Amino acid sequence: MGRRSLPKLDAAIDFSNHITEVDDLQAPFCPQSLFAQSADLEIEIGSGKGLFVLNESGKIPERNFIGNEIAHKYCRFAAYRLAKAERTNAHMLRGDGLKFFRELLPDHCAVAVHVYFPDPWWKERHRRRRVMQPGFIQDLERVLVPGGIFHFWTDVEQYFEETCELMKEHSDLEGPFAVKPSPAEHDMDYRTHFERRMRKNDHDVFRAQFKKLIA
Ligand SMILES: C[S@@+](CC[C@H](N)C(=O)[O-])C[C@H]1O[C@@H](n2cnc3c(N)ncnc32)[C@H](O)[C@@H]1O
């Protein structure tokens, strides 16, 4: 993430009910236990400041949303925004998303998984930190319901192409299907903060969807 400082959080807003540590969860874990009501579930890994989860949980109140973010300060900020907006269908999990998928999420629990603008980790010795790696791809396929969708967007063309190749090699999901950007109707009408930054600076964004086959 860019290193810009975040706005100060209003101490009067209690966001403790909107955030949980991944390391405090235990298997077997039911993701619906984070919410007041069970509903179709969407999960984002690497939520940053949480614009996607905030906007989508407002647009689709009949679904539940989990945002996952490893950086404490971004995760806290995202949870704060959800609490401020009084969302009961969205929750942030602070910790390693790869571990969350690998060790905690049950099979067929999500109708969609989202990865937007993951860090590319260019150096060879840092590659294992990439979110898009074979083990995660197998987990995301397992976690999706039949007919579920995986959304992947990045500004890094090489990461996009490598991910499309990895998806082909390590999953049976159909795709990539191209996705067109929608026009922004207001200043925060972007999928994520990174999409906003890229589009405002006229950078390319590479977008794809993959669909899990209905057996
Ligand atoms: C480049 S930022 C993009 C943030 C957001 N998706 C957006 O588009 O604005 C990538 C984010 O992924 C988070 N991240 C990296 N590795 C992660 C992991 N293993 N689990 C959860 N979050 C992770 C980083 O802390 C960072 O906030």
pLDDT in tens, the chain (215 residues): 555 689 999 999 999 999 999 999 999 999 999 999 999 999 999 999 999 999 999 999 999 999 999 999 999 999 999 999 999 999 999 999 999 999 999 999 999 999 999 999 999 999 899 999 999 999 999 999 999 999 999 999 999 999 999 999 999 999 999 999 999 999 999 999 999 999 999 999 999 999 999 87
Query: 19, 76 in Cβ contact below 8 A?
Result: yes
Q: What is the pLDDT of residue 136?
A: 98
For 103, which DSSP code?
I
The whole-angstrom separation of Cα 46 and Cα 113 is: 11
What's the pTM value of the predicted model, to 2 decimals? 0.97
Query: 99, 22 in Cβ contact below 8 A?
Result: yes
Mean of the per-residue pLDDT values of the chain: 96
Catalytic (active-site) positions:
119
Q: What is the pLDDT of residue 215?
A: 76
The whole-angstrom separation of Cα 43 and Cα 64 is: 9
- What is the Å distance from ligand 1's center to 68 Cα? 8
Indicate the pairing of strand 110-116 with strand 206-211. unpaired
pLDDT tens, residue by residue, 191-203: 999 999 999 999 9
Furthest C-alpha separation in the chain? 49
Q: What is the pLDDT of residue 4?
A: 67
Exposure on the CB side of residue 50, measured as CA atoms within 13 A: 33
- What is the Å distance from ligand 1's center to 46 Cα? 3
Backbone angles phi and psi of 7, in degrees to 5: -60, 155
- What is the Å distance from ligand 1's center to 137 Cα? 16
Residue 146 CB neighbour total at 10 angstroms: 10
What are the sequence ranges of the domains in the chain? 16-211
Best residue among 4, 119, 190 to mutate for probing ligand 1's pocket (most ligand atoms within 8 Å of CB) is 119
- Which residue has the least CA distance to atom 12 on ligand 1? 46
The whole-angstrom separation of Cα 171 and Cα 118 is: 19
Which atom of ligand 1 lies closest to the CA of 196? 9
Best residue among 117, 129, 192 to mutate for probing ligand 1's pocket (most ligand atoms within 8 Å of CB) is 117
The whole-angstrom separation of Cα 137 and Cα 163 is: 9
Structure token pair of residue 152: 């992947």
Q: What is the pLDDT of residue 5?
A: 85
Give the CATH class of 16-211: alpha beta
